[in-house]
Structure 1
Amino acid sequence: MAGIKRTTQKVFYYARNVMRDIAPQALFRRRLADRLEQARLSDEAVRRRLNDYNKLQDAFVPGPDAVRIDKMPFEPSMYYYDLKEFARYFDPSLLLDVEFGDVIGVPKVPTLVKDRPIHTDNGNAVILKFNKFRHFYMPADAVAFADKLPVVIWRGDLNNPIRTRFLDAARDLPFCDVGSHKRSAPAEYSKPFLSIRQHLRYRYIVSLEGNDVATNLKWIMNSNSLCLMPPPTYETWFAESRLEANVHYVPLDPDFADLGEKVRYFERHPAQAERIVAAANAYCRTFSNERDEQAVSLLVLYKYFVLSGQIEPDRQLWHFIEG
């Protein structure tokens, strides 16, 4: 359940974006050259991230279902606003192929998406920071690892076999408090709802992919709790493919038989747990630089429009993109 602070943030999110839509859009388009010039002066990390999210290298033609910027679908509204935040700087007649929601495959034509599978040829899936209000909510955690309860915690929807398999392996272990808070959950898996703040009282939080990526991964890694999870198979703007096992998180076997062993190890070696927590926190700070976030977002779209033949590239900017 959303608290007052989170509800207020949501209201502000919508109010800000509605005001952007009401404002004359030409005002944004006049600023595009300056915004792109600022982006060109960014560091190598921005260029690397741009080309990770947008792996396209060859020219292409937008697909038959491509939509104009000024005709983009409004639902789901958060996806619309997250795309429009940066697309509004470009000519409204430019065409985009876009797929909102959870994406489990790779589109046949270059398409803007929230997520894509990792272990495949995924170049046609161009990642943007979609649904960021939900996925990039990373509240501060003031409780030190040593001061947390030595318990494994997990709550979630049983929307894939991995989560059910995890509960079967962990629900009867004395150091685990795991289950589903959904009304549809079978009685043997049912547990009461816990807020993010309540999760953060525990040392070990499990992250499990659902329809695609695990929504809780970002706030776990931003906390002082230790993230335990199987290696990710999907990635978003959070670049899950760049996460390193035993550096940013503790890997779990597919059958979760190693869960007890991993917990016992870190209970005996808390300094090792705190080292992983610190590395995870540092990784999350990558996404806290708003200037870089905006530069990467604009450049992802710019590269898409250039390679689709809709914009003539600026020589200096294209040199920066190509490195």
Structure 2
Amino acid sequence: MKNKFLYTLRSGKNPKFIYYAVNLCRFLVPKIFFQMRLRHRLATLSRRNDKAYIEQRVDYYNKLTGLIELPSTALHLADHKMGRQKVYFFDTYQYTRWFPDRFQWGFCPGDVTYIPEYPSIVKSRPLAADNENSIVMKLDKVRHFIFVNDKKPFASKKNMAIFRGKVKGKSSRRQFMEMYFYHPMCDLGDVSKNTTDPEEWQTEKKTIQEHLDYKFVMALEGNDVASNLKWIMSSNSIAVMPRPTCETWFMEGTLIPDYHYIEIKPDFSDLESRLRYYIEHVDEAQQIIEHAHDYVAQFKNKRRENLISLLVLEKYFRATGQYNDKI
């Protein structure tokens, strides 16, 4: 219990008590206050120098075109209530409160690796050509959107790759552990509880700061995306991973291999050769770090991120025939 308490204090992750405090206060403000300001807030887009960039982001998250009819069973925003998955409620409510309660929507909370039957709001979607029904919003952001200020230069870090994560029930991560647990260039550990995987894999969690002692940090997909990818790319270490199969608000589908991260084969067979290459080519490694920092920077403008979120929802309600300029 003591170790768990100390880890919570030092983990480097977003404090959940602050997140809940802010959102509970937000929940107390009447919806009408936001609904009266919606048109004015959306109209600010036309005055922005980055209008084209914002529209590009909106169209990336929301690929709907034409007019689409939702099923009669689709829930109304009035029925959007707090349930077990509180972070998904708070992260959507922050923006749904701007729209009338009579509007209907589809909403799939959790780690979504399938494409919904009709257009629905999701945190994650598979990288597939036919994923138009998956409308991505910035959900579970307290866990996924963590950025760091890493003072340690790449050249001063250990010539190794680190992985700490849950392996239980994740066949790809298990394969990786079987291949590299004893490899001298890897520091690997499984933080799963009540697992039947090898006992020697079991270890305590490491803080984000402890991860950043290593040149390379493995970003291995779990249920959907690798949740550590954001803070790795904001650091002076490099994310190492196969090409992603899912994406979130971070737009993992737009990442360029060996430009934003080090790509390895899906079967992990070339890990050692890829690590050795960038250990020997520090200038190229540093370029990847700089490109990753530039990529991360686009998500740090909170006001713009909020506007994009509102526009994604506005496009959803407009495409489903519920929103018009008279509202």
TM-score by length of 1: 0.93
Which blocks of at least 5 consecutive residues in structure 1 are unaligned? 315-323
User: Residue deviations 1:271-304, cap 9 Å, x none?
Assistant: 1111101101110111001121011100000001
Task: Give yes or no for the alignment of 1:270 onto 2:282.
Answer: yes
Partner residue of 1:175 out of 161, 185, 192: 185
- Residue 6 of structure 1 and its aligned partner are, at CA, apart by 6.3
CA distance change for structure 1 residues 119 and 7 in 2, over 3 Å: closer, same or farther?
closer
- How many residues are paired up? 314
In structure 2, C-alpha distance between the alignment counterparts of 1:149 and 1:100, rounded to whole Å:
38
Q: Deviations over 1:144-182 (max 9, x none)?
A: 111111111001111321101111221121111112122
- Which position in structure 1 is the counterpart of 2:161? 152
Change (3 A) 1:245 1:10: same
- Percent pairwise identity: 36
Q: How does 1:114-263 map to 2 (within 5 A)?
A: 114-158=123-167, 159-183=169-193, 184=195, 185-263=197-275
2:55 aligns with one of 44, 47, 60: 47
Secondary structure, aligned partner of 1:2: helix
AA aligned to 2:107 is V
Which of 270, 276, 285 is the aligned partner of 2:297? 285
Alpha-carbon displacement from aligned partner over 1:41-85 (angstroms, at most 9, x marks no partner): 342111100000000002112234422222114131111111111
Return the alpha-carbon distance in structure 1 between the equivalents of residues 171 and 73 of structure 2: 33
Amino acid at match of 2:230: K
> Could you tell me which of 70, 80, 88 is aligned with 1:79?
88
Q: Distance in 2 between matches of 1:214 and 1:24?
A: 36
- Asked if 2 retains the 8 angstrom alpha-carbon contact of 1:169 and 1:255, the reply is no
Extract structure 1 runs of 4+ deviating beyond 3 A.
4-9
Show the counterpart of 2:4: none
1:26 corresponds to 2:32: yes
1:11 and 2:11 are equivalent in the alignment: no
**CA offsets per residue over residues 125-159 of structure 1, 9 Å max, x none?**
00000111110011221111111111110011113
Counterpart of 2:324, as a letter, is: E
Q: Work out whether 1:100 is the aligned partner of 2:109.
A: yes
Instruction: Please report the TM-score for the alignment, with normalisation by the length of structure 2.
Output: 0.92
Q: What is the CA–CA distance in structure 2 between the aligned matches of 1:194 and 1:133, rounded to whole Å?
A: 18
Cα contact 1:63–1:97 (8 A) shared by 2: no
RMSD over aligned CA atoms reads 1.7
Is the contact between residue 12 and residue 208 of structure 2 (CA under 8 Å) also seen in structure 1? no
What is the aligned partner in structure 2 of residue 301 from structure 1? Answer: 313
Supply the AA of the counterpart residue of 2:70.
P
Deviation at 1:25, TM superposition (A): 1.6
1:40, distance to aligned residue in structure 2 (A): 3.4
Give the Cα separation in 1 of the matches to 2:184 and 2:30. 60
CA separation in 1, counterparts of 2:71 and 2:90?
22
